[in-house]
Amino acid sequence: MDAITVIRTKRDGGTLTPEQIDWVIDAYTRGTVADEQMSALAMAILLNGMDRAEIARWTAAMIATGERMEFSRLDRPTVDKHSTGGVGDKITLPLAPLVAACGAAVPQLSGRGLGHTGGTLDKLESIPGWRADLDNAEMLDILDRIGAVICAAGPGLAPADRKLYALRDVTGTVESIPLIAASIMSKKIAEGTDSLVLDVKVGSGAFMKNLDDARELAATMVGLGTDHGVRTVALLTDMSVPLGLTAGNALEVRESVEVLAGGGPADVVELTVALAREMLAAAGLPDADPERALADGSAMDVWRRMIAAQGGDPDAPLPTARETHTVTAPTTGTLVGLDAYAVGLAAWRLGAGRARKEDAVQAGAGVQWHARPGDRVTAGAPLLTLHTDAPERFAGALEALEGGAVTIGDPVEGDPGTVGPLILGRVD
61-100 pLDDT per residue, tens: 999 999 989 898 999 999 999 999 899 999 999 999 999 9
| Distance in angstroms (rounded) separating the CA atoms of residues 151 and 110 | 6
Residues of the chain with CATH 3.40.1030.10: 79-153+191-315
**79-153+191-315 to CATH, choices 3.40.50.1220, 3.40.1030.10, 3.20.20.70, 3.10.20.90:** 3.40.1030.10
The residue annotated as part of the active site, out of 187, 188, 201, 387, is 187
Single-letter amino acid code for the residue at 351: G
- Catalytic residue (one of 80, 89, 122, 161): 161
What confidence score (pLDDT) does residue 118 get?
78
Q: Does residue 241 sit in helix, strand or coil?
A: coil
Q: What is the pLDDT of residues 108-154, one digit of tens each?
A: 998 887 667 778 999 999 999 999 999 999 999 999 999 999 999 88
Catalytic residue, chosen from 57, 82, 231, 349, is 82
Looking at the chain, which residues constitute the CATH 3.90.1170.30 domain(s)?
323-409
Distance CA 275, CA 99 (A): 9
Low pLDDT (below 70) residues in the chain: 114-115, 357, 411-419
Active site residue 161: yes
Q: Which of 163, 168, 228, 277 is catalytic?
A: 168
Q: Is-catalytic flag, 52? A: no
> Which residues have C-beta within 8 Å of that of residue 269, sequence separation ≥ 6?
259, 294
Helices (H), 261-360: 266-282, 290-295, 298-309, 340-347
**Longest alpha-carbon distance in the chain:** 68
Q: Which of 126, 176, 183, 186 is catalytic?
A: 183
Q: What is the pLDDT of residue 412?
A: 60
Q: What is the pTM for the complete model shown? A: 0.92
For residue 214, what is the enclosing H or E element? helix 211-227
- Catalytic: 359? no
Is 176 one of the annotated active-site residues of the chain? Answer: no
What residues does CATH 1.20.970.10 cover in the chain? 3-49
Distances in whole angstroms, Cα of residue 8 to Cα of each of 2, 45, 118: 10, 11, 38
> How confident is the model at residue 162, as a pLDDT?
87
Q: Considering the domain 3-49, what is its CATH architecture?
A: Up-down Bundle (1.20)
Identify the CATH assignment for 323-409 out of 3.40.630.30, 3.30.1490.20, 3.30.420.40, 3.90.1170.30: 3.90.1170.30
Q: Is 183 a catalytic residue?
A: yes
